[in-house]
Every structure is written in C-alpha cells, then in structure tokens.
Amino acid sequence: VDAKLLDRVKNISLNLTISNAGDDAYDTNIYLNFSREVFYINFWQKEEKGISCELVELDFLQCRVGFPFMRAQTKYHFAVIFDTTRLSGENDTLQFLVQAKSANPEHNLSDNFLDISIPLIHETDTTITGVITPTSFVYGNAIEASRFVQLEDMDCNFQPLNLTFQAINKGPSRLPGSRVDIRIPNRLTGNGAEMFHIIETQVANGRGNCTPHRNPTPCTIPQDKESIFHSIFAFFTKSGRKVLDCDRPGRACMTISCSLGPQLKEEALSIDIKVLLNTEILKTDSSSVIQFVTRGNVQVNDRTVEVPNGLPEDISLVFEALHSQEPRGYVVGWIIAISLLVGILIFLLLAVLLWKMGFFRRRYREIIEAEKNRKDSDESWDWMDKDH
C-alpha cells in the first residue's frame, strides 16, 4: 500500500479481492474495522456481483458478498472509499483490519484475515527565524568591569548574550516533530580555548529539549607571553574585521541540538538560549572588530516531506565584538618613553647636521667688533657735523 500524503489526499480507496476456492459459500461477509478519524463514503464494484455494504458502527463496516451464497471457484473485486480529511496525523499509520467469514465450515482460516497499514506522510513548509541581543558590544582594558558579568570565584569578564530561535510550521499539515541545530563559533583559533559558556537552554512550554553543552573551563585567561615591542606593534596595527563563521572550513563551532514536539499549522515553537562570552580571550586578538555568525537549521523527521520551493530552513544571526582601541597602561608608558627617545635622537641628529654645515663655526666675534666700529665711526661723524 502506498504512503498517504496528509492534507493532499482527501480520500482513499481500499481495493479488496475475495476468492472462494471451495464449494459454494453461504452467507459470506467481509468485516472491516478502521480508525474513527476516517469516514465511510461508499463502495464501488466494476460489475454487479450482489455486493452490499452497511455501516454498523462508525468504525465497523459489514459487506455481504454474493448473497445468499458466493459461488465456488469465483473471485469478486470491489473497492471501499473513505474520507480522510479529518486525520489528525498523531499516528504513524492508518490501519484497516479485514476479515472474511461464511457459514460454511473451513479448515484453514489464516488467509481470512488481513491487516492493512498505510503509512501517513505529513507535508509541511517549515522555516526558522531568530534574533540575538545585544547585536554588538565593546570590550577592552579601558571598559569598566561593571558593564560585564562576573561569575563566582572567577576573574573573567563575561558578556551576556540572549539568542531566540523560532521554528514555524506553515502547513499545510500538522508537523509531528522536528529538530533544530544551532551552531555557534566557539574558538578564535582551531586549538584555542572555548569562548562561550551556556547558562540555559529552554523550549517554550516544555515542548522539547536541547542537548546540554558544558564548558569545563569557562574562565580562561590567556597568558601574555608577547614582548613589549610586539604589544606596541599590535596596538598600532589593530585594524580590520575578523569573521567567525561556522560555514567556513576549519572553524571550530559549538552545536546545540533541540528536539521539538508536534506543531499545528501556523504554530511556532521558541528556543531561548542564554550564553556568556569570555572577553578575556577576545583581548588577545589583533582585530578591531570580531564578527560572530551563528547559524540555525530546522529539519523534519522521516514522516514528513517539505513543500517544494518552500520557505528557507536556515538562518544566520550576526553580532559583533568591538575593541575599545585603548592600549594597556604599560603600553602607553612605553609609547611615551619611546616617543621622547625618538624626539631626542632627532634633535641630536639635527644638531650634528647643522654643525657639519658650519652653522656653529661662524665668526660671531669679528662680526660684533665690526658692527661696534661702524657705530663708533658714525658717532664721530655726528660730532664733526655739530662743530661746523
């Protein structure tokens, strides 16, 4: 029996064949038991064979075959039609129990029973949305520690982040269940320390659960083994943007998988994740902006097929860590000291150049005496003019 696509197929036809390999069978009947989520519509036979069906109960149908008897060595073919528009989809299969029975004694009854199971396939259009707060924050040595979160007995400054994802079923069928995978870039380098510490993961109304992720060392403070000259160089060259994206090859990411329960059409389930980001690790990077690209994906199970060309099943959330661009205290001191030293060296260099050019070897004494003699000569001429 082919699988039935919920909400796409409005009714099904149960095609039955009954055969009598012995003598004429008197009072032959076929009994059908079925789910109360389907409704009997009618039966159909290609040729008139004296078949009639009657609904005894909502889930029980009796069909008389060749009344008053079914002739020997004959086969009857007919179809029973059911309405399936009210199937809830809570069960994996739609089951029919069929039994053939007559008034004649039979020695082998094993072939008089039939269990028909029709797999139910849900057709849905699932999508995922999300938001992250805050979308950016500033870190660095000049930022006050009060702006961050400190955990007990830990010296690290943590930036809190809240991620919210929504898995939405756009229909047309009920979604029996789904899985959401959330990937967060968790290391600056492939073998670096983990940056994120998961505080809480929660599915709305307890309608799902997420795999726990534990960071054994949430507070990792990298040891500063760089020389002072390397620190100064890193300060002046701190520029550009580093992108941490889980879709890029070689990127170490943390994956959180959440299993979600059933969803009705147009129903959304929220996943809330609270994390802490260790800013001490960020301080070791030379980039002025570190961009984190977090990705979410929703997947349906084997009982479900996606609508062709439907809504996207992936989403990416972006947040940025901005460096304050202020150096450490000892770096400032060294910059001032080196600047003074460079200034003195430039002054000495200029002095040497001027000396080489003869600036300090000019005959200032002769010039002063000549200027004095000129003034004396001018004064003597003035006295002579007065005498005349």
* C-alpha–C-alpha distance, residues 329 and 293, integer Å: 32
For the whole model, what pTM was predicted? Answer: 0.70
Same fold, 4-107 and 124-327: yes
State the CATH architecture for 4-107: Sandwich (2.60)
Assign 4 a pLDDT band (cuts: 50, 70, 90).
Answer: low
3-state secondary structure of 86: coil
Provide the residue type at 199 as one letter.
I
Give the mean model confidence (pLDDT) for residues 328-343: 67
pLDDT at 224: 57
pLDDT at 1: 47
* C-alpha–C-alpha distance, residues 258 and 200, integer Å: 13
pLDDT at 189: 82
Q: Which residue has the higher pLDDT, 233 or 81?
A: 81
pLDDT at 317: 95
Closest listed residue to residue 95, CA positions, set 32, 34, 10: 34
Assign 15 a pLDDT band (cuts: 50, 70, 90).
Answer: very high
**Across 4-13, 16-25, 97-106, 226-235, least confident range:** 226-235
pLDDT at 332: 57
Q: Over the stretch 258-280, which tens digit does the pLDDT of each residue have?
A: 999 999 889 999 999 999 999 99
* C-alpha–C-alpha distance, residues 65 and 173, integer Å: 38
Domain ranges of the chain: 4-107, 124-327, 331-378
pLDDT at 63: 93
Q: Over the stretch 68-93, which tens digit does the pLDDT of each residue have?
A: 888 888 888 999 999 988 887 777 78
| Range of 72-76, 130-134, 153-157, 298-302 with top mean pLDDT | 130-134
Closest listed residue to residue 185, CA positions, set 320, 313, 284: 320
Q: How far is CA 41 from CA 4, 84, 320, in A?
A: 18, 10, 61
Strand partners, 163: 132, 273
Rg (CA), the chain: 44
Strand partners, 270: 166
For the domain spanning 124-327, the CATH number is 2.60.40.1530
Assign 288 a pLDDT band (cuts: 50, 70, 90).
Answer: confident
Assign 125 a pLDDT band (cuts: 50, 70, 90).
Answer: very high
Give the mean model confidence (pLDDT) for residues 51-58: 92
